[in-house]
Amino acid sequence: MTRRAARGRYALPATALLTMLTMGCVAPADQAAPGGPTGGASTGPSATPTANTPAARAAALVAGWRAGPGPGAWRGGFVPLEGLSVPPPNVAFTPATRAAFDAGRYTFTGALPSAAPVQRDKITFHQGGVQDVDVVPAAEAYRQLSTGGSPDCGTFDKAVLPESPAPCQPLTITGVRYGLVDLRTSRGTAAVPAWRFTVTELGGEVARVAVAPSAVTAVPEVPTGPPPAELMPVAQVVAIDGAQVTYLAEGTACDRDVRPFVAQEADVVVLGATATRGSGTCSRQLVTHRVTGTLTQALAERAVLDAHSGRLLTPGRRVG
């Protein structure tokens, strides 16, 4: 269920490119602060949304999400709510190591264990419950982890992101061991069997979930049409403080009047940000806006979707 980045080149996220192509530009404006008591947010999808509005899109995303695995798998299976490759906790990424991790670019010259210590293991759900699953050997986990191939620095477009270095650096694996990793799932956080790869540049271990694909139920692929022009993609949920959620929205230096958009239901929350687009000329430089919205209750274990793309968001980890 992990999302793979484009191989052999570095490019802007598709959602960021779509946003930049569909907007006009005006003079740069100050980045938005949180709104009023609700953070400038909607409290839920409109009962009868019309046209191509953020509320209508959120309602469609919620409906698509609920048409997913079904309550049996959601409450009794293994449905991860984040990627199966997990970076070290509190890792300090650089632009180059972030790009390499997202793209799955690794080098490893050591010997991989020929088999897992066990052929079957257990997923332990911290809120209660255990699930027996088959596990994959280290070689298969490394194949799933290392998906990026060799970078092609010649395709990097400095005109689009003039301040960013070409992300040509692979990550170096020096060892591997079998263990566990905590992962958000539809049944709450769980201790999941994983192969843990020691990565020099990240100063810790990247865990790759070792559960056999046959035991993994993917989150729904929510179909969406073109997003509303004023809606920006969410790159990352950076902080959750009670009912307040702070996240990063991707736009340009031309955006003004940036506001949070939040639609929430009992089982899912849709996050986004809106901005006023201008018709003048300005720099096309990508800018990240820090936005805060307020929920009516704590997020808890609810799924979080990006209103722009429909992708699942994992608090604390960047889309990529």
Judged against a pLDDT cut of 90, whether residue 208 lies above it is answered with yes
Using CA atoms, how far residue 249 sits from 16, 141, 192, 264, 265, in Å, is 10, 32, 31, 18, 21
Alpha-carbon torsion, ordered 147, 149, 155, 161, to 10 deg: 40
| Mean of per-residue pLDDT scores for the chain | 78
Judged against a pLDDT cut of 80, whether residue 224 lies above it is answered with no
Judged against a pLDDT cut of 80, whether residue 306 lies above it is answered with yes
Pair of tokens at residue 34: 């949180």
Query: Does the pTM of the predicted model rise above 0.75?
Result: no
- Residues 59 and 270 sit within 8 Å (Cβ to Cβ): no
pLDDT band at 15 (very low <50, low <70, confident <90, very high): very low
What's the pLDDT at 167?
53
Phi-psi region of 257 (alpha: psi -120 to 50; beta: other; left: phi over 0): left
pLDDT band at 242 (very low <50, low <70, confident <90, very high): confident
- Residues 159 and 171 sit within 8 Å (Cβ to Cβ): no
